[in-house]
Amino acid sequence: MKRSFGWLEGCITIAIALGLAGGCGHQMAAPSGATFHVAAIGDSIASGQGAPDKDASKWPPWDWMPEWQDERCNRSMHAGTFDAVERIRNSPQPKTIEFRSFACSGASIAKGLLGPYDGVAPLWKRWLRPDRYREPLAPQVEEALKWAKELDNQRIPTEPYEPPIDVLTISIGTNDILATQIVAACMLPVVECNIARPIIEHELLCLVGSYKKLREEIDKELAGYTKHIIVTGYPDPARDGEGVACNHAPPRSQGKPEPLAGISAGDSEWMSGVLRDLNETIRTETEDHGWTYLDVNEDVAANGVVDEGFPKHGWCSDQNWINTINDSIHKQRHFRGGVHPNVSGHDVYARRLHPLIDERLTE
């Protein structure tokens, strides 16, 4: 279990500590003994891809594979929402929180959130264990709604109605614009990434329509059961310790030639631009709808301390928060965690989600 940090949120927390109701203007403290409910839906950022609960080991041989909260979705306890909830549970002013994650690596809006999805279990496991892997996973919005209705059925009818899910976090969009395929193409030395610009521009336009469908579905089915929705952005993965675009670096990682070294500075710069466009699209499509958007790339200053964002901690940085391809193979016996946050990277999400979630639990 990772170390948890307390968070004092102004006079709201003081009011809770003193057991006072409304100790700060009209803000009402949560009743003593209240149980809050937090859920996460989304893709690999939401699931914790790239940071298994326990890394794979070379020895003993029976401990050769990594461990996950959920193998089929590469769901990890290091995921941002999971860790943020743990920090709140273990803070100086702890809250009782029930948490459910339905996030699954590789999910998109159409396949994963609004439609069924196979997950990321390898094909051989689907054939060997059809009872566990062959049936498609139910849409995540549907699963979150099912949980919300279960909670709603448990409430006391005489009490004032409160939506059962206090906070829902969402990460979605990168698979909708074919980001994984673009990165793979960029690693080929004979390919210039910007030839994919027309494809990306088209997919970003399609993403606007997909987010509209997502908002409509959540408004129709889940919004009445949810108080607050937080949507997280994506990290800029292709920067070194000075914030400069990765240029054929690192040449080696984990003692082996690194596939990401095939990406030039120009291609890295182009990829960073794609991420900025993606994040701006998500910000617009969420904030205009009254949801909260969380940026993980900007530096944040609080009490004289700067909490750095991702742009100086890409895969080629000496202090990288993004896995190289070899990092992923070393940790989880698969390339899938490459160009995804490692434990330190997911910790950025946890640090920034922690106060956001904690604050909204008292509203």
Average pLDDT over residues 337-348: 97
Q: Which residue has the higher pLDDT, 146 or 362?
A: 146
Q: Does 131 fall in a domain?
A: no
Does residue 25 fall inside a structural domain?
no
Total domains in the fold of the chain: 1
In a domain, 289, yes or no: yes
The tens digit of pLDDT for each residue in 207-266 reads 999 999 999 999 999 999 999 999 999 999 999 999 999 999 999 999 999 999 999 999
The answer on pLDDT for 14 being more than 50 is no
Lowest mean pLDDT among 7-21, 93-107, 242-256: 7-21
Task: Return d(Cα 252, Cα 177) in angstroms, integer.
Answer: 29
User: CATH number for the domain including 206?
Assistant: 3.40.50.1110
Task: Name every residue whose Cβ is closer than 8 Å to that of residue 98 and which is 6 or more positions away in sequence.
Answer: 35, 36, 37, 38
Q: Which domain holds residue 215?
A: 34-111+139-361
In a domain, 120, yes or no: no
Question: Is 45 domain-assigned?
Answer: yes
Residue type, 65: M
Is 232 within a domain?
Answer: yes
Cβ contact 27:361 at 8 Å: no
pTM > 0.85: yes
* Phi, psi (rounded to 5 degrees) for 39: -130, 155
Q: What is the distance between the alpha carbons of residues 286 and 171, in angstroms, rounded to a whole number?
A: 11
Mean pLDDT on 320-330: 97
What are the residues whose beta carbons fall under 8 Å from the beta carbon of 208, sequence distance 6 or more?
281, 285
pLDDT at 131: 65
In a domain, 173, yes or no: yes
9 located within any domain: no
